[in-house]
Each structure stands twice: as structure tokens, then as C-alpha cells.
Amino acid sequence: MQREIIKTIRGVAAADGDGVRLTRIIGSAELEMLDPFLLLDSFESDNPNDYIGGFPEHPHRGFETVTYMMAGKMRHRDNAGHKGVIEAGGVQWMTAGRGILHSEMPEQEQGLLHGFQLWVNLPAKDKMLAPAYQEFAGDDIPLEAFADGQVRVISGQTEAGTVGAVKGTATNPLYLDVTLHGTFRQEIPEGHNGFIYVIEGEVAGVPQKHIGVLGQGTRVALSGTGRFLLIAGARLDEPVARGGPFVMNTRAEILHAFDDYKSGRF
């Protein structure tokens, strides 16, 4: 069964961290979440005043953060001694699990900074796992050419069999960066929710800088000219309780997370 675009939404202007200007695509009043996706932000500016403050140290528990850089550099570090720089084309898939303190700060004072941050929920059984990372430089992300373009495979598998760099995540996610001048076809498991975000051009009737939410089905055929993200993940169908940087299943678990954080147990 073919999946169709059932809703098209433009992101809304927002700010986060230390005043970083961004566009909130998922996590706004227009689209609060798309199970298992809790948030999608796009940051894109060549004005240092829009991003130089970065995202100073802050906690997370109960979900995964995915940072995908398209231009510029972002330095990250955490309270467990993990640190590095995500450069253009690179991705960091961080499983916050039971709790982590980390920061993400621009590794530049001028020039274009462009990237995306996606929050992916974890099932209840995995929310208190030990934190973990998967990080890949741009050159380590598989690139597949097809008749009408090319696709960078961050996670999941294409119909031609190219397997993404990120593996073993709870929601079996598909995360593709597609450059297109024609039609792109892809299978998506029936139990997944999915969407496209058009970075440039127009794809499947979705204009630039808009999200197109996909209906149910088992595959897509997306036509157009441009560049877009195709992202999908298994629905968890579990209760969601949010408390700022914590995402659990109940309000009591959120209060416990705040208590652990304030008591230095992260």
C-alpha cells in the first residue's frame, strides 16, 4: 500500500539553549509529536549572533538525540568524559537512557552553521539503560547513487540493500538524506510513522522548509527536484510524560528524574 502525504506544515521560529535561533518542525502546537519522534529542530544561519551561545550543559533522560550537521562544526562533551566535534556531514546518535549531562557548542565564530536535531523516544523498557553513543563522520555514512539522484543512509536500509551507519536502535529507525531529480522509492514498515522534510526544492508537493507527514502504508514513491530527509520509526504506542529535558511514561517518573538530577545522580 502506497503512503501519501496527509499533512504539510511549515516549522515555527523558536529559540533554545543560550539563545540559538532555530525552526521547530516537530514539537510545536502544529505538530506536538509523531510517535516515536518528540522533536525536530533545524538550525541554519551564517550570523554568529544566532548560534554562538550554543547549548550549554543540560540533562536528558528517557530518549535519544540525533544531531546531523550539514554545515559548520559542533563540539560536544558530557559528564562521563565523552567529547568530540561533529563536522559537516557527520551524525551523532546519543541514547541518553537513564541520564546524562552534555553540552553542544559551535566550534566556529563565523560562517554558516546548519544542522538538525531529532529527539526519538525510547520504549519504557529501555528508558533507564546506560547512556550510549554512535558517532560517524561524513565519509563514514554510506552513499548510494540511483537513477534519479543519491541517498546518504544514516540508519535503516534502502531498497537496493545499502545499510545505514547507525544500527541497533530501539525504534528501528529509517533516516535518509536524499538528493533527487525524479522519483525515489522506499519501503517503510507498516508499523512505522514517517515524514519528509524538504531542505531545498519541492518533493511530493511539499515545498522547501516544510514537513510532509506520511499516511499509513508499506512504501513511498516521492517525486520532485530537491533535497529532503526521509525519516520513519516504529510507533511505541505508550504513554508520554514530558518534563523539559526528560521524557518518561508517567508524571511520577518525571518528578523522580528531576530529583535525581538535582541530587547529582546523573
Topology given in CATH for the domain delimited by 5-262? Jelly Rolls (2.60.120)
What is the average per-residue pLDDT within 40-62?
95
81: pLDDT strictly greater than 90: no
Residues present in the chain in total:
266
What is the average per-residue pLDDT within 73-86?
92
The domains of the chain are located at 5-262
Residue 109, CA distances (Å) to 15, 51, 69 in order? 19, 9, 16
Q: How confident is the model at residue 109 (pLDDT cuts 50, 70, 90)?
A: confident
Helix (H) or strand (E) run with residue 239 in it: none
The counts of H helices and E strands in the chain are 1, 21
71: pLDDT strictly greater than 90: yes
Q: Are 26 and 40 in contact (CB under 8 A)?
A: yes
Q: Return d(Cα 257, Cα 87) in angstroms, integer.
A: 32
131: pLDDT strictly greater than 90: yes
75: pLDDT strictly greater than 90: yes
Q: What is the pLDDT of residues 217-232, one digit of tens each?
A: 999 999 999 999 999 9
- Strand order in 83-87's β-sheet? 55-60, 100-106, 73-78, 83-87
Percent of the chain with pLDDT over 90: 96
Q: Return d(Cα 31, Cα 27) in angstroms, integer.
A: 6
Q: Are 61 and 248 in contact (CB under 8 A)?
A: yes
Q: Return d(Cα 20, Cα 31) in angstroms, integer.
A: 21
Q: What's the half-sphere exposure (Cβ side, CA atoms, 13 Å) at 131?
A: 17
Residue 33, CA distances (Å) to 43, 59, 119 in order? 19, 20, 10
Q: What is the pLDDT of residues 242-256, one digit of tens each?
A: 999 999 999 999 999
Q: Which residue has the cell 554545515?
A: 71
Q: Return d(Cα 74, Cα 115) in angstroms, integer.
A: 9
Query: Using alpha carbons only, what angle is made at residue 128 by residues 124 and 130, rounded to the nearest 5 degrees?
Result: 135
pTM above 0.95, yes or no: yes
Q: Return d(Cα 199, Cα 207) in angstroms, integer.
A: 9
Nearest CA to 175 out of 197, 204, 149 is that of 197
